Amino acid sequence: MAVLIAQAMPLGGLQPTYAAAAGGGDQAPIGEKLVLHVRNDDASAKTVTVATPGTVGGLAIADAAQVIPAGGDAFIPLKSTYRDPATGRAAVTYSAATSVTVAVLQLP
């Protein structure tokens, strides 16, 4: 698992640096103004899942899953709901990592 670093977006804009999605998943920081931008440059759709380790009334909260179409992208907010108590980060996995790139953006 790779640890992703947030890139601060200044008011003037940002050309982010993307990392290849790790086959075993990634860890991302969480926070109110953080988003995970996922780009899928493959010819088939991919599913990105962010683990939700919490419970409500003893019942597990469902993980967040986002299907990204071929050639598409998605923004996923990295809220405290996704905080893994062991790492303090969000655990992100991919149905397949081929041709998938990611960046964590910190909005102004």
For the stretch 26-80, pLDDT in tens is: 999 999 999 999 999 999 999 999 999 988 899 999 999 999 999 999 999 999 9
Q: What is the 3-state secondary structure (H, E, C) of 62-74?
A: CCEEEEECCCCEE
Cβ atoms of residues 27 and 4 within 8 Å: yes
The alpha-carbon radius of gyration of the chain (Å, integer) is 14
Residue-level pLDDT at 87? 95
Closest CA to 90 of 59, 64, 55, 68: 64
d(CA 86, CA 43): 35
φ, ψ of residue 11 to 5 degrees: the values are -60, -30
Q: What is the pTM of this model?
A: 0.93
